[in-house]
Amino acid sequence: MASVFLGDLDDFIAPSQACVNPLFAAPASDKPAAIAGNGADAMELVLEDEFETLAPQVLPPQQQEPDLIKTSASKTATVSLNDCLACSGCVTSAETVLISQQSSGRLLSALRDKSFAVSVASLSPQSRASIADYFGLSPAQAQARIATFLAQLGVTHTIDAACAGDLCLVAARDEFIARARSPLPPVWTAPAPSVAVSRTTQRDAATGAESFNAPQLRGPLPLLVSACPGFVCYVEKTAPEALAYVSAVKSPQAAAGALVKGAAARAWGVAPAAVLHLSVQPCFDRKLEASRLDFVDTVAAEATEAAEAAAAPTADVDIVLSTSELLEMAAQYFRSLAPAPPAPELAPGIPLPPPTPEGAALASADAAGGASGGYAEHVFRHAAKVLHGVDIPQGAPLQYRQGRNVDMRELVLEVGGEVVMRFALAYGFRNIQSILTQLRRRRCAYQYVEVMACPGGCVNGGGQVRPAQETPQAMRERTVRVGGIMQAVPSLAQPDDSPLVQWVLGPGGAMPLDSAASALHTTFHAVPKLEATNSLLARW
């Protein structure tokens, strides 16, 4: 029997080229409202879904009342990133919205106005490796030169976001152990559609009732890593039935934001609203993630500034720039990233890694686990020891089994000839669809899946530095090369060895346990279908 396999051409979940929601897409008309008579022309409505343009639908003419009272001219509706999050018209967001609302111009304006007491840039290890590959630098040299460039623009501190990744690894392994010991039965039911109001409040999309926005730490297996915003958007908008399987642990970007605006702001003696947090990431969808109201604190408590400043809504991440956008800024202002002078230290008592001098070593636990945060590898090693008494030496590489394609790999633990644990790394859209299909049919054999929307993982994010024209072979070579640069960073034996983890979570740490749980966990929402919120999009 012959088989036909359908897939996306480039296997990316890419931003839409334009907004498909007619509430925002239609420009305002300068013509006065017309009265449609019996001879008025019928209206043709062209619909788009995620993959194609559907057949035009011809609507009958409708009688319109004359606009007898007009107090103001019609205005063109604008779409924000929050609108994109609450709309299922496309999987991620309109590309123009992502670029316009999270831009280098906004960063330069904020730095020029000096409206923040402290400005912090968190640099993802994937972005650092991409820039290091472009300039032929070591990771430490790239970190130092980027820090120098941002300091010349007015950024106070540049930190290594991989240290926030260490915090996420600790939270991820604890979450998996708890689920593995007492998993809930498999389900395939979507929760009621809801939207976030703030970090602690959500609103029912149907009734408008507000309730406490509490992370769901218990659930069935497998546990799906939620660090990829493209995957999160895809599940929330197209497969909300899978939300019960999605990890509640924040991404490293969101965790870094909670730390910078929380414990670090307190140590600096400033209100969270007085701290500007810039995040440099390999992915444009990180801009969308930063706009989630789940990462906005409406009551920024525990600040030492004036009460009115502390009460202002505060986002954990204010601006997100992609790797390529940062490089464009450097080329525009300085033509390149110059060698870095000795770096200033951060405030005493805050072990956030400062900008490192050239040649200094970086260190992180996620450096050992691949190019996308090391979730599967670290959790696999930890679970093997805690759940099955198997101690895998830290220096011993894990044996991966190749799946049906290069972006699908497995980790298997056998005890006494019996498979007791099976993990997977599933990168790219086709593998995401495959995992979700297995979940829907309740045939998924994995206990833990590291999911990333981009083929090759985060090192191949859409915001990375790449040639204008790149063949698939050149893309694979670049991905391997950049991933190798990430692996060149010295690896900590355990994330617990990170000074930042010890400062935050250790005895007498900077965050109480309840605050740490809030800083490292989040919630997700089933997004109502577009036709449910807009009758014009109902399919006749």
Helix, strand, coil % (nearest 5) of the chain? 40, 15, 45
Alpha-carbon distance of 293 to 280, in angstroms, equals 20
- Does residue 302 surpass a pLDDT of 50? no
Alpha-carbon distance of 19 to 89, in angstroms, equals 8
pLDDT at residue 162 in the model: 87
Nearest to 486 by CA among 84, 123, 198, 181: 123
Overall residue count recorded for the chain in this entry: 540
More confident residue, 252 or 336: 252
Total Cβ atoms within 10 A of residue 331: 11
DSSP reduced 3-state for 476:
helix
Tokens of 413: 């633990």
| DSSP type of residue 274 | G
Alpha-carbon distance of 160 to 122, in angstroms, equals 6
How do residues 335-393 score in pLDDT, each as one tens digit? 566 665 555 444 444 555 544 444 444 555 555 556 788 899 999 999 999 999 999 98
Nearest to 99 by CA among 324, 337, 372, 330: 324
How much of the chain exceeds pLDDT 90, in percent?
A: 41
Kind and range of the H or E element at 195? Answer: strand 194-196
pLDDT at residue 180 in the model: 96
Alpha-carbon distance of 88 to 291, in angstroms, equals 16
Alpha-carbon distance of 532 to 528, in angstroms, equals 7
More confident residue, 534 or 243: 243
- Does residue 16 surpass a pLDDT of 60? no
DSSP reduced 3-state for 507:
coil
Q: Are 426 and 451 in contact (CB under 8 A)?
A: yes
CATH number of 166-250+366-461+473-487: 3.40.950.10
Total Cβ atoms within 10 A of residue 361: 10
Q: Poorest-confidence range of 133-147, 223-237, 305-319, 353-367? A: 353-367
More confident residue, 399 or 358: 399
Alpha-carbon distance of 312 to 261, in angstroms, equals 13
- In the block, residue with structure tokens 């390529």: 324
Give the pLDDT band of residue 263 (cuts 50, 70, 90): confident
Pairing status of strand 157-160 against strand 118-123: parallel
The CA-atom distances, in angstroms, between 199 and each of 202, 254, 255, 492, 539 are 8, 12, 13, 32, 35
| Residue 248 CB burial class (10 angstroms; 0-12, 13-18, ≥19) | buried
Tokens of 226: 């939620």
Select, from the ranges 3-12, 393-402, 417-426, 463-472, the one with the highest average predicted confidence (pLDDT): 417-426
Tokens of 345: 């230290």
- Does residue 99 surpass a pLDDT of 80? no
Q: Poorest-confidence range of 100-104, 111-115, 290-294? A: 100-104
How do residues 466-498 score in pLDDT, each as one tens digit? 988 888 889 889 999 999 998 887 777 788 888
Q: Are 286 and 188 in contact (CB under 8 A)?
A: no
Strand partners, 427: 452
Domain 95-162+251-362 grouped into CATH 3.40.1190.10: no
- What average pLDDT score do residues 402-426 get? 94
Q: Are 244 and 220 in contact (CB under 8 A)?
A: yes
Kind and range of the H or E element at 127? Answer: helix 125-135
> Count of H helices and E strands in the chain?
19, 16
How do residues 23-76 score in pLDDT, each as one tens digit? 444 444 444 444 344 444 454 544 444 444 444 555 555 554 444 444 444 454
* Cβ neighbours of residue 280 closer than 8 Å, sequence gap 6 or more: 121, 122, 123, 124, 127, 146, 320, 321, 322, 323, 326
Give the pLDDT band of residue 257 (cuts 50, 70, 90): very high
Side by side, the strands of the sheet bearing 400-402 are 223-224, 448-452, 418-427, 408-415, 400-402
Give the pLDDT band of residue 229 (cuts 50, 70, 90): very high
More confident residue, 111 or 4: 111
- What average pLDDT score do residues 142-155 get? 88
Q: Are 127 and 286 in contact (CB under 8 A)?
A: no
Q: Are 432 and 211 in contact (CB under 8 A)?
A: no
Q: Are 273 and 309 in contact (CB under 8 A)?
A: yes
Where are the domains positioned within the chain? 95-162+251-362, 166-250+366-461+473-487
DSSP reduced 3-state for 491:
strand
The CA-atom distances, in angstroms, between 248 and each of 172, 381, 426, 444, 504 are 8, 20, 18, 20, 19
pLDDT at residue 372 in the model: 86
| DSSP type of residue 261 | I
Residue type, 380: F
Rounded mean pLDDT of the chain? 78
- What average pLDDT score do residues 86-104 get? 61
Q: Are 431 and 449 in contact (CB under 8 A)?
A: no
Alpha-carbon distance of 432 to 454, in angstroms, equals 10
How do residues 438-466 score in pLDDT, each as one tens digit? 999 999 999 999 999 999 999 999 899 99
pLDDT at residue 297 in the model: 80
Residue 435, φ and ψ in degrees, nearest 5: -65, -45
pLDDT at residue 32 in the model: 42
Q: Poorest-confidence range of 71-85, 234-248, 407-421? A: 71-85
- In the block, residue with structure tokens 């069935």: 220
